[in-house]
Amino acid sequence: MIAIFRDFRPWLLLLIQRRRRFLVGAFLIWITQMAGLALLGLSGWFITASALTGIALTLGIAAHLDVYVPGGGIRFFALTRTVARYIERLYNHNTVLTLLADLRYRVFGYLTQLDDARLHGERASDWLSRLTADIDTLDNFYLRILVPPFVALLGIVTVSLFVAIWLPSVAVLMAGTLGLLWLVVTLFAATWGFSPSYQQVVDQQSLRHLVVDQVQAAAELMSYQSAQWHREIIAGHEQQAYINQRRLGRKAALINSLVSAVSGLMVVAVLWLASLAFTQQLVTAPIVVMAVLIALGVNEMFIALPASFMKLGASYAAVRRLNQLTSDSKPVHPTATLSEEAGLAIRTNHLSLHYAQTLQPALSNVDFHLPAGKRAVITGNSGAGKSSLASVLMGRLKATQGEVTIGGELPWQLSSESRAHHFAMLTQQVDLFDTSLAENLRVANPSASDAALWEVLGAVVLDGWVQQLPQGLATAVGEKGQQLSGGQARRLALARLMLRNPQVVFLDEPFAGVDAATAKHIAASLDQWLVNRTAIYFVHRANSLNLLPGVEYHWHLDAGKLSQCLLN
C-alpha cells in the first residue's frame, strides 16, 4: 500500500494545485445528492401526512396540516437538485478538461526532455499510449476514485445526523451499515479488482502494439503472406483480454449484488426499528415513511463506486508507466548561452557514444575541429555513425564519453529554444504535417511572406511544380507528406530549413532522391545560403563532393571512428 501511494504521490501533488476546483466540485455533488434525498424524504412525509389528515377528517376527527411549508420545500429541493446537477456537471466537466490539459502538458514536457536514443527505443504506440490511454486512465482516478467516496462519506454523516433527530437507533444502524458498505465498495473492491484491472491495461497495450504493427507493416505482411498469421495472433490476444475483462465484470457484478442485498436488508431493518418507535409513540407515521425512503434513496451514493474502485489497478498501471517516463527524462535547467556571431566553431574531444543493449559503440574517440563559418563534409557508409554524430552535435544525444562544444558550450546544456534558434538540421527522416505546403514551410518561420516561400521553393527547384498545382501553395501534402514523392518531401524540408537564420547547419544527405541537374541547382543555392554559417554535410558517397562548393574539411567515418581525408 505504501508503494502504491508513493507511485501516486507526484500525480496527487498535481491535483493539489487544483484543490479548490475539486472541493467546489465535491460540494456541488454533495448538494445534488442531499437535495435528492431531501426531496424524496419530504415528499414521502408530505404524502403520508396528507393521507392521514384526509382519513382523520373523513372519520370526523379534527386535524390540521400546513401544506404550504412542505409544498414549498418540495419545490425548493426539486429546483435545487435540478440546478445543482446542471452546475455540477458543467463545473466538473470543465475541471476534468483542465486536469487533462495539465496531465498532457506535463507528460508532453517529459517527452520533450528525452533524447533521441530513448525516443527511438520505444514504439510509437507506446508514446501514443502515454499521451492518450494512460492519461485517460489516470483521469478516471481523479474523477471516479477520489471525489465520489469523499462525497459518499460526507453524505453518510449528513444523513445519519439528520435521521438521529427523530430516530437515534435508526441513525446508528444506518451509519454502521453504510460505513461498512463504504469500506466494501472502496477498499475491498479496489483490492479484489486490482489484479484483473491492472492486467487489462497490459492487454490493451499489447493489443495496441499488434494493431499498430499490423497497419504499419501491412505491405510487408502481405508480401510475405503473413497477414493471416498476424491477425490470428491479434485474435488470440483479444480473446485473452476478453476473458480477463469478463472476470473483472463478474467481480464488479458480485459486489454490486452484495451492495443491493445489504441495502435492501438495511431498509427492512430501518422499517422495523421505525415501526417499533411508532408503536411506542416516539415518532409519527410520516417520520417512519420519511426514514424508510431516505434509506432507499441513500443507495444512489454507492451505485458508481464499485466499478470505479475495481479499476484502481488500471490507474496504478498507468501511473507506473508514466513514472517510468518521468524517471527516464532528466530535466535540465540550462544556463549556457551562445553568442550571436555569424558562425560558431565546433570542437570534439575524444567523443564516444554507446547505445544501450549494443555491443559496439556508435562513435569511438571522435576528434575534430571546425572553425567558425567554415564548411566540412563527413562521409561514411550506412551505419557508420553519421546520424549519431549529427544528433550529438545537435544536443539530441549526450555523449557517453568525451565532449563536444559549439561556440564553447556543450549543446545538450543549451535549452531547446536556444538550439532551435542557433542550430538547424536536415535529417534523413522528413516530418511533414497533414496541411498545406505553405503551412508546412511556415513551421520554420510563421511570419514568412509568400514571396519568401516562393524564393526557397525556387532554391530547391520546387517552384515550377508548385505553380502547376491547381491550389498552388494551398495544396495539402497529406498525412506524413504522402502526396509527395520522397525527393519532393526532402526538398520541401530543405526549403523549410532555408527559411530560418541559424548559425550552425547540419545537412544529412541533402541531395538524396534528386537527379544530377537538380542536385547541382540545390548545391548552388546552398552555397549562397551557407555564407558565414558553420556547416557540416553528411553524405554516403565521396563522389558527392563535387556538389559541395566551399567545403574546406573532409572527414570519413567508419564503424564509429573518424579519420581525416584530403579534398580533391
pLDDT at 304: 82
Q: What is the pLDDT of residues 409-463, one digit of tens each?
A: 778 777 777 777 888 888 878 888 888 888 888 888 888 888 888 888 888 888 8
Contact status, residue 91 vs residue 28, Cβ threshold 8 Å: yes
Which residues, in sequence order, are CB contacts of 190 under 8 Å at separation 6+? 309, 310, 312, 313
With a cut of 70, say whether residue 294 has pLDDT above it: yes
Q: Is CATH 3.20.20.140 correct for 346-565?
A: no
Give me 50's grid cell: 396528507
pLDDT at 158: 96
With a cut of 80, say whether residue 7 has pLDDT above it: no
Higher pLDDT, 399 or 76: 76
Phi, psi angles (nearest 5°) of residue 403: -155, 165
pLDDT band at 206 (very low <50, low <70, confident <90, very high): confident
pLDDT at 286: 94
Which residues, in sequence order, are CB contacts of 323 under 8 Å at separation 6+? 7, 10
What is the distance between the alpha carbons of residues 504 and 370, in angstroms, rounded to a whole number? 11
Average pLDDT over residues 104-132: 69
What is the distance between the alpha carbons of residues 243 and 338, in angstroms, rounded to a whole number? 59
Average pLDDT over residues 57-84: 89
pLDDT at 299: 86
pLDDT band at 296 (very low <50, low <70, confident <90, very high): very high
Q: Specify the amino acid at residue 101.
A: A
With a cut of 90, say whether residue 95 has pLDDT above it: no
Average pLDDT over residues 524-533: 85
With a cut of 70, say whether residue 119 has pLDDT above it: no
pLDDT band at 154 (very low <50, low <70, confident <90, very high): very high
pLDDT at 174: 95
Predicted TM-score (pTM) of the model is 0.69
pLDDT at 542: 61
Question: 493489443: which residue's cell?
Answer: 207
pLDDT at 117: 57
Q: What is the pLDDT of residues 127-150, one digit of tens each?
A: 766 777 777 777 767 777 888 899
Quote the mean pLDDT of the chain. 83
Q: Please state the domain extents for the chain.
A: 2-328, 346-565
Average pLDDT over residues 325-347: 63
CATH class assigned to 2-328: mainly alpha
pLDDT at 398: 77
